[in-house]
Structure 1
Amino acid sequence: MKVAIYIRVSTEEQAEEGYSIAAQRARLEAYALSQGWEIVQWYVDEGESAKDLNRTDLKRMLKALEQGVFNCVLVYRLDRLTRSVLDLYKLLNMFDKYDVKFKSATEVYDTTTAIGRLFITLVAALAQWERENLGERVRMGMQQKAKEGKWTVSLPPLGYESNDSTLMINHQEAAIVKEIYRLYLSGMGMWKIAKNLNERGIHPRSGKAWGMNPIQYILKNPIYMGTSRYNYRVNKDQYFEVEGVAPAIIPEEEFNLVQQTIESRKDIHPRQATSKHIFSKVLKCGRCGSRLIGKSSHTKRGEKVYYSYNYYCPNKPRGLCDLPNISQNLFEQKFIQMLSKWDFTKEADELAQNEATAAVEDHTETIKEIEQELNGIEKRRSKWQYAWVNEMITDGDFQKRMKEEEEKEKMLRKELEGLTPKEAPLQDSDISEIWTDLKLNWQYMTIEQKKQFVLIALDFITVDKINKDKTPDSVEIKEVRFN
């Protein structure tokens, strides 16, 4: 009898119960020897569940079965092979088709008779019930643990460390998270943020290069304002959130601002979202109601190239609208005039009241932790220098390590600069001054900053070109709707 032996272990608990790879191998080898069978192949799946047939070595075994490599499959117990009744039927049919016997070393089965098939089916059904029942209990336990504000995932998110299911801030990683939020709110897209971090030698915990998905995960994960989410990928009908699970890395207002920005960029092309057209997606035609589209052109005078940015109605080329092109330069001047007439007193009063009722946060402990992180960077620098001087690392490695430490130090010091032992709430006069600065400093803002403000603050602006003059007064702002 040519025998193929199949072994499976899915958890450490099973290994402790005597189902370890070594234990199964020893017992199965002894069993085959006692029967006088020849072992022609071993198939071992470690750390894989029996919930389906999608297992590496099991698939190899079934392929060899079709090739007639062996004529008997030997397992330690039936549940090592499968815990699904449906999968058991599939396997038994395959064994019958290729005239291959099935044998368990610890259980008595006879698949050649009807009563034997019934018995093995009942055993498989019980195994499936046990697996599903255990799964339900585990899910209920995990959900209850999450509702109690404990961290249920083995690997904590970037910026945190887990201690007995409690999340604590890792300030070195938290600085990276804050940098990602800062870059996004400055107008940079997710792909550009990933490229920026990779070029600066700032890597995630895995050490791999950044991509769009991990950046998006960080920007949309409410854990960074202290709120955990559960069942957001699977079992979405049972999704829930729990506040106060972790200390916040990103203030709630900043997190919500990022979500608004992501939502505002959702329906526009990435190039449009980061283009030089400040009012993309916001301007509406005052004649037909269509969203205006940005268009750029350039002229060359000598060695200099001059760019101009305009907006046009998409219905004009089709003869359905007669709105002339609107220059971004002229409209921006008109927008500044409108900005200077805004009365922010009401908004300032509301924000001042909210700030006054908020608790004054003490950052003394956080400052100490960041200073400890900075001391750690200095110590690592000394180690890299020692290793380089003693030719334990190459010049390239030394430069790379020192650059990484420099970037980490920059982010930590930036975070430190934003903290004081006590932060007093904003006064009404402070908030009014902020709005006044916005009016006065519009001309000093970058295009990305202007675009970011427009996307977040405005739903749409309806405009019209009332004459052919090349002056701001030739543009009329008919309606403004704020977000």
Structure 2
Amino acid sequence: MSAEYAVYVRVSTDKEEQISSVENQIDICRNWLERNGYEWDENQVFKDEGISGTLFTDRPSIQLILRKAKAKEISMVVFKSISRLARDLKDSLEIREVFIAHNVRIISVEEGYDSHKAGKNDMAFELWSLFSAQYSRTLSSGISAALAAKVRRGEHIGKTPYGYDKVNGFLQMNEEEANVVHKIFDWYIQGWGYKRIMKELNFRGIRPKTISKWQITSVQRIIRNPIYCGDFILNQYTVIKSNGRRKQIKNPREKWIYFKDHHLPIIPKDIWRQANKDSVKKRSFTPWNEFRGIMKCKVCGSNMIINRSVKKRSDGSKVNWDYLKCSKYRRGGVYGCINHAPILYEDFRGMILETLLSKAESLTIRLKSHVQKKKEAERSQLIASKEQNSKRKDKLLDLYLDQLINKDEFEQRRREIEENIVTIEDKILHLEKREGMAQDIETIREAFAQLEDREQDLYKVFSILIEVIRIHPDKAIEIDYTFEESVHT
């Protein structure tokens, strides 16, 4: 028989025993093919080496096979076991559906699975996929136990923190960086805030470990991290899969595993406790922002947030002063963006309300159809842009597989394309959400009517009537409405 098949092989690590399993998988598939009258073709073997099976979107070879299936370049795919295909139930079934939809026969040698014999609605594949997914979870638990054992021995797991070097698996103090950590804690205990410390570090030309400039969050993490007093927390975070991508979430405290005196501390425990004793009190209150998601910095495109400053009156009472600030500038100062001239939130909200109410007076019934047409045109443009990026991703894969670009360049360009796709998908989702809100309020005219009640939370109303607000550093404002062209104020 002609070689219209593909052999898929995957190993998840680069360890010697795993590398040898590549040949093992190939031999098993070759034996099945030759016993069933197929001519062996080495060029039909596709490998994903050193890649986890829990996220098939990151595996170039399986993506290539799926493309070949869609292009009708193959009629059969053979692999050692379903666990080699995928270890996530959803991914496994999704891959199977693509193959079945394009009349590609599926052979899993180890389970004796043959889609031609099983039919389209068989449960065998689903059961084996379920077992594979459960094995992945069991394996993950085993890995977690092994990591805990390493931590108990004093080894470090994860990224090397600032102030330390990792030598043979153990943390060793980096004297130069440790001195900086001491300065950070000293300044903080003296009353310096995160922002002032960040500015001082950047002014002195002190570089962080992995990024070019210090940010407020990087200073905060050092002060809050118990690793600097010699303690280590395991199982603080969990990686979950969301929309085909990995996402890190923080576990509740009761799931944390705390190892005291795990390694040599940079900061004495009493000093660390002193810096962290008021951590709950020092958390700033985040004011309610009715323009969240639609209020952007004109310079960098980041969200504008509400920054709260508390001032004391002469009589001892306090007053809150809420003003708008670029979130990127808030995190990184002048190294992040530009400081905007202060705009009080209440003044800004009042100005937006007055602008919208003035438009309500000349509102006509044509608004609804105008908005719908604009949404449809925008959605079509977004979908076309997403398709264009998907094609770019496919071409990039071809360049990599043809060895016209190296792995680093492939990964960098792939990440850029995927970030573009995620941004486009977010915009499409925003359109859909806005449509859902419009159905709740029924008409834009009714949304305008709700503006009369100035005291209520107008987040939904603003989201329906306003596409985006861009704020310039000099207080100038651009407003893109959902029902007409942009306006500068």
TM-score normalised by length of structure 1: 0.48
Q: Identify which of structures 1 and 2 has the higher relative contact order when contacts are C-alpha pairs closer than 8 Å and 6+ apart.
A: 1
Higher Cα Rg, which structure: 1
